Chain A
Amino acid sequence: MLIDWFTVLAQVVNFLILMWLLKRFLYLPILNAIDAREKKIAKELADADTKKVEAQKELDEFQHKNAEFEQQRVALMNKATEEAKTERLHLLDKARQAADTLSVKRQESLRIDAHNLNQAISRRIRQEVFAIARKVLTDLAATSLEERLADVFIRRLQDMDEQAKADLGKALKAASEPALVRSAFDLPVAQCTVIQKAINQIFSAQINIRFETEPELISGIELTSNGQKVAWSIVDYLASLEKIVDDLLQEKDKAEAQIKKPPALMRQMDKRAYEADGSMTGHADEEWKQAEQGMHKENPEPVKTEQSAPEVKN
């Protein structure tokens, strides 16, 4: 008998047990491992896809941002350029204004300097005129300038028309304070006495007179009382001298070469001053030179002279 039924039964049982054993220890673990691996691979692929998409997204974003940044940069650059241009114009305007202001100030300062110089010149000329007159009078007529001045002044008082004389006399008599006689230089006592006497005589009254020295006075001598004034003045001489100086300065404006040459008049005046008073002080000399240099420098402003006091003309 080829078939042993107990063995058949045993083999069936054995086969079933083997089936269970292999299912438990072989098929399930292996299949699970394969499934897990496949899932893992699928997940990794999905992750890779996600990362790729994210990377693409980030790349896009980055490019977008880059473009935006570039635009902003260009805009900022343009703005900065615009601002710089505006600022430049503004600064240029400011600088121009400052330069204008400086120029105006400088012109003003020049004008003031010229004015001061003119005054200095005028004063000096006056001094020189008197010095020359004094010298000439002493040399030619053995008489002093003060003397002549007093004489001229007295003559002028005498030559006044009657109306003016009456007005002045009234004013002198009515004045509570002594009448004031001002001169550009100290009057000697003799001349003071002569003037006092002459005034007393002319106005037929004892008039109190106070003598004062006023170096700034343009007129040689003047009598002031209660608003009335009599004067002898060298204003006319000075005016003509000023006219000559003005003409010279205008010529200097026209041609600079000519300006550089020392004005003939100034040279003459200088010479005359040395001739008139050989013992000129160092200080005065220096001042004169300064004044001369100032005149040589550019000075487009017309030279103005001091306003002379109103004078009573006969």
Chain B
Amino acid sequence: MHLSPDEIIFWQFGFLKLNATIVYTWGLMVVLAVGSILVTRKLSKGLQRSRWQNLLEIVITGIVKQIEEVGMSQPEKYLSFLGTLFLFVAMASLFTIVPGYEPPTGSLSTTAALAICVFVAVPLFGIEQSGLGDYLQAYLKPTVIMLPFNIISEVSRTLALAVRLFGNMMSGTMILAILLTITPFIFPIAMSALGLLTGMVQAYIFSILATVYIAAATRVRNPKPEPTAKH
């Protein structure tokens, strides 16, 4: 019994090690990349298109629409970051139906890595959008007194992102493992289905929160802020 796939180590050389988290992540990366290459290799620009292309188009346009609804005027610019976040988390939980698979998002290291990515990306996008000075000044709003609270908020929400995803994904796997020892027949399947739903919801929540953070950072100089998306 282990809490995180980090604990399954295939190979180690000092500080360097190859654990299940990294391996499963590579597996996901290969599946996503190869699948994309296979589908987009024969892309149709006409009115007739393949079913896989249709599926991918629905997914991409759905993500783009979601980003737009949160209030960002150029969704394509953030698509690769936010879309990859969503797809990675969603695929990680979707593959839990494969026996023996451990979702990499069930490792606090992975979720921390993703949260760090968001933590770094938010100021980067904000500075790119409005310049360094303006971005930093946003921490002084509405007054200078709010600066420590703004910084605490920034750090705490990153921590919350990481722990929320880790908790949900890890709990799913843990519940399944515990139930398997108690009621080994039908019940774990129902819980597995529930785990899939939870994974999808978590993927949505993680990416939409990241979107909202980026939107908040890039909307600093926008005189007429658009309404924020529903959480």
Contact = CB atoms under 8 A, between A and B. Distances in A.
Interface of A: 2-12, 14-23, 25-27, 29-34, 36-37, 40-41
14 contacts: A2-B6, A4-B19, A4-B107, A6-B15, A11-B109, A12-B117, A18-B28, A30-B56, A30-B60, A32-B43, A34-B57, A34-B61, A37-B45, A37-B46
Nearest to A36: B45
A20 B80 CA distance: 8
B59 to A, nearest CB: 9
A108 B40 CA distance: 113
Contacts of B53: 30, 33
A19 B166 CA distance: 21
Contacts of B127: none
A33 B43 contact: yes
A119 to B, nearest CB: 113
> Looking at chain B, what size class is its interface with the partner chain?
35 or more
Given A2-B109, A8-B110, A11-B21, 12 more contacts: A7-B107, A10-B25, A15-B84, A18-B84, A21-B29, A22-B32, A22-B33, A22-B83, A27-B83, A30-B53, A33-B49, A33-B53
Nearest to B84: A19
A12 B108 contact: no
A6 to B, nearest CB: 6
A40 B46 contact: yes
B107 to A, nearest CB: 7
B32 A8 contact: no
B132 interface: no
A15 B104 CA distance: 12
A12 B25 CA distance: 11
A11 B43 contact: no
Tell me the interface secondary structure of chain B in the complex.
Answer: helix
Contacts of B15: 6
A140 to B, nearest CB: 141
B36 interface: yes
A191 to B, nearest CB: 139
A26 B40 contact: yes
Contacts of A10: 22, 25, 113
A266 B113 CA distance: 159
B187 to A, nearest CB: 28
Contacts of B81: 19
B40 A29 contact: yes
Contacts of A30: 40, 43, 53, 56-57, 60
Interface in B89-109: 104, 107-109
Contact of A11 (B3, B25, B36): B25
Interface string B149-183: 00000000000000000100000000000000000
Contact of B116 (A2, A4, A12, A29): A12
B51 to A, nearest CB: 14
B44 interface: yes
A34 to B, nearest CB: 6
Contacts of B116: 8, 12
